[in-house]
């Protein structure tokens, strides 16, 4: 009888003894040239882009399941749909994963810990969000960020909130999707709830339409770039041209920017340094413009219900004209309002003239309707 009992126990134990298992979901490469376009249609996936040096695009997608029951793993893999193809000069990657597959690793906090962490994050965020930043410190923030501001906070303070007993019980998936692309490839992106991290400077044009996308770049160098983001976040060390539209994106962090037009809506924008010919139009966003480049020439901003934060205005040699209506100016602890909301007539709010005895950087022109201007 005993061997029978043991065999029953053995079969009962098997489903509960989980280990790490790795599943390779895609491994393919295509020969490409300078005319090749990489088309990406993505749902619920996190992809890291690396530079390829052998004139080929390489796709490699794998998942490692940690403490995952076999059936759950199979259910999850059913939600993974990935295929690649090449037709003429177009290489296409289609990823249609279910939302349950998810895009990235979570910090694995219990609900109680998460609640405490989020409350503390809100406090932390409120106290730190208005402080001045140099271009380099913002670039470092971007370089070492682990996701959005909340996610970054949760990961960097994991020790404070994580409960080892809770983590040890949680099943997890380590997802790794790497695409190696030669620098000369044009990329077109259509992405839903996806995370895209580029670990090389992108010289060729990128066109991107994303919804709840998490995008991170080093340098975006093409003047023909076109980005349209709804929700999610966007971080880039440097932009040298193109058109960018952000709606509900928190945060948009840009280390330095030049020759670019931005359309913003209900987002948070932080720019380390503004360079040559930058134009921003906004509705109801918070903007933090920390520094101006020594040759920025001109910068134009027009906003409705915007909060514009400018730093080191007195110490920097640029000229500035601010006009608008129903706008509050906060400067040196003094709050002044300009133009009643009912009148809707533009008045000149502030003027700063260039200094004659030091190099002139350029002119800042600001038009604010129902805005707040904080001069720090």
Partner 1 sequence: MERDIRDLFNENKDIKIELPKNHREEFFQKLHDVDNESSKNKNVVLLKIAAVIALVFCATFYYFKDFSSIRKTAKTEIQVQIELFENEYLTNINKEWESFIKVANDSVLVKKYEVKMKESVTDYQKITDQLKENPDNINVLESLINNLQRRLELIKNIKEHINELNQKNTSYETIYL
Which residues bind to partner 1, rule: CB under 8 A?
Answer: 44, 99-103, 106, 108, 111-112, 114-115, 118, 150, 193, 212, 231, 248, 250, 266, 283-284, 286, 305, 307, 313-314, 320, 326-329, 331, 335-338, 340-341, 347-353, 370, 372
Looking at the Cβ atoms of 82 and 90, the one nearer to partner 1 is 82
Using the CB atoms, write b or e for 174-189: b if 16+ within 10 Å. Answer: ebebebbbbeebbbbb
Of 252, 227, 236, 50, residue with least CA distance to 142: 236
Minimum Å distance from CB 260 to partner 1?
Answer: 25
**Phi, then psi, of 90 in degrees rounded to 5:** -110, 120
- CB atoms under 10 Å from CB of 85, counted, come to 12
| Least distance in angstroms from the C-beta of 305 to partner 1 | 6
Q: Which is nearer to partner 1, 239 or 338 (CB)?
A: 338
Residue closer to partner 1 by CB (options 82, 150) is 150
* φ/ψ bin of 327: left (φ > 0), alpha (ψ from -120 to 50), beta (otherwise): beta
Judged by beta carbon, residue 80 or residue 187, the one nearer partner 1 is 80
Closest approach, Cβ 352 to partner 1, in A, equals 4
Q: Between 124 and 231, whose beta carbon lies closer to partner 1?
A: 231
Peptide bond into 170 cis (omega under 30): no
In the complex, minimum distance from the CB of residue 244 to partner 1, in angstroms, rounded to a whole number: 20
Q: Of 228, 226, 282, 290, which Cα lies nearest the Cα of 256?
A: 290
Measured from the CB atom, the residue of 189 and 249 that comes closer to partner 1 is 249
- Give the list of residues 6+ apart from residue 62 with CB closer than 8 angstroms, or none: 22, 23, 24, 25, 175, 176, 177
For the CB of residue 328, give the shortest distance to partner 1 in the complex, in Å: 6
Residue 27 or 344: the one with the smaller Cβ distance to partner 1 is: 344
Q: Which tokens is 334 given?
A: 């003094």
Contacts of 21 (CB under 8 A, 6+ apart): 64, 65, 68, 73
Nearest to 253 by CA among 242, 238, 265: 238
- Residue 326 beta carbon to partner 1: minimum distance, rounded to whole angstroms: 6
Minimal distance, residue 146 CB to partner 1, in Å: 14
Residue 299 parent element (H or E): strand 297-304
């Amino acid at each position: 009888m005993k061997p029978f009992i043991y065999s029953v126990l053995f079969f009962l134990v098997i489903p509960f003894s989980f280990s790490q298992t790795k599943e390779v979901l895609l491994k393919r490469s295509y020969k490409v040239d300078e005319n090749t376009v990489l088309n990406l249609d993505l749902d619920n996936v996190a992809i890291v882009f690396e530079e390829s040096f052998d004139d080929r695009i390489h796709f490699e997608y794998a998942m490692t399941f940690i403490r995952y029951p076999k059936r759950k793993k199979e259910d999850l893999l059913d939600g993974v749909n990935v295929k690649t193809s090449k037709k003429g000069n177009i290489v296409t990657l289609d990823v249609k994963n279910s939302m349950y597959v998810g895009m990235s690793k979570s910090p694995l906090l219990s609900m109680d810990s998460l609640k405490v962490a989020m409350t503390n994050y809100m406090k932390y965020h409120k106290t730190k969000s208005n402080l001045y930043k140099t271009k380099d410190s913002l670039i470092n923030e971007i370089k070492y960020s682990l996701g959005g501001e909340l996610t970054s906070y949760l990961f960097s303070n994991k020790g404070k909130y994580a409960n080892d007993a809770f983590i040890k019980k949680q099943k997890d998936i380590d997802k790794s999707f790497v695409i190696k692309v030669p620098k000369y490839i044009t990329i077109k992106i259509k992405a839903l709830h996806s995370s895209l991290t580029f670990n090389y400077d992108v010289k060729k044009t990128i066109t991107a339409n994303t919804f709840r996308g998490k995008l991170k770049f080093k340098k975006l160098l093409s003047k023909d770039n076109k980005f349209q983001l709804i929700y999610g976040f966007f971080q880039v060390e440097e932009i040298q041209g193109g058109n960018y539209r952000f709606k509900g994106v928190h945060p948009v962090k840009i280390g330095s920017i030049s020759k670019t037009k931005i359309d913003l809506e209900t987002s948070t924008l932080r720019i380390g340094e503004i360079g040559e010919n930058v134009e921003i139009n906004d509705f109801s966003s918070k903007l933090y413009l920390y520094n101006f480049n020594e040759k920025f020439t001109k910068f134009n901003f027009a906003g409705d219900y915007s909060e514009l934060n400018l730093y080191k205005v007195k110490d920097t040699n640029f000229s500035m004209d601010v006009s608008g209506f129903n706008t509050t100016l906060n400067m040196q602890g003094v709050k002044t309002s300009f133009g009643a909301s009912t009148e809707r007539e533009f008045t000149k709010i502030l003027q700063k003239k260039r200094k004659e005895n030091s190099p002139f950087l350029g002119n800042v022109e600001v038009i604010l309707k129902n805005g707040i201007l904080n001069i720090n």
